[in-house]
Amino acid sequence: MSETVPSNPPTGAPKARPTAAAEDYLERIAALIKTKGYARVVDIAAELKISQASVTTMVQRLDADGLVKYEKYRGMVLTDAGEAVAARIAHRHELLTQLLRFFDLPEDVIFRDVEGMEHHISGETLDALERLTRHLEANPEIVAQLRR
């Protein structure tokens, strides 16, 4: 009879990936800062259609995790770590969007599906899809074959 030994996370593993909700917040915050120069709780609440109280709770958690610097009356900025995570999220979103556009799908379908897929895809699979995307980009005749 063997006893099941719980497996320990590998040492030196990267920090736990942010939750899907945290990723959505970081994505919005980065986009707001890029377009407006700042991000406030009220703007994030409006964009994500969530109460300001819920947004404040999440932003405080992102602050505690070192991803955001939040000041109650001045809004928030991304820390360097937050910037790095937001850049990874933006890259993933753009890559998946580029891949799906090869199939000539409606933009609203692409956006909705990317918003779902992006939270669940592993780094390994994203790397594979990035190679596929670069290959299709370089070979438009294959893209033409794939389209209907």
CB 27 to Mn ion: min, Å = 5
Could you tell me the sign of the dihedral formed by the alpha carbons of 49, 54, 58, 63, in that order?
positive
Nearer to Mn ion, 40 or 93 (CB): 93
Radius of gyration of the chain (CA): 19
Contact at 8 Å (CB) between 138 and 130? no
Least separation in angstroms between CB 124 and Mn ion: 20
CB of residue 15 vs Mn ion: minimum separation in angstroms? Answer: 20
Taking the complex as a whole, the smallest distance from the CB of residue 23 to Mn ion amounts, in Å, to 8
CB nearer to Mn ion: give 91 or 135: 91
Residues that bind Mn ion (CB under 5 A): 93, 115
Q: Kindly tell me which of 74 and 94 has the beta carbon lying closer to Mn ion.
A: 94
Do 77 and 70 form a contact (C-beta atoms < 8 A)? no
The CA–CA distances, whole Å, from 90 to 24, 93, 96, 115 equal 10, 5, 10, 11
**Residue nearest Mn ion (C-beta atom):** 93
Nearer of residues 17 and 135 to Mn ion, judged by Cβ: 17
Q: For residues 69 and 82, what is the distance between their CA atoms, to the nearest angstrom?
A: 9
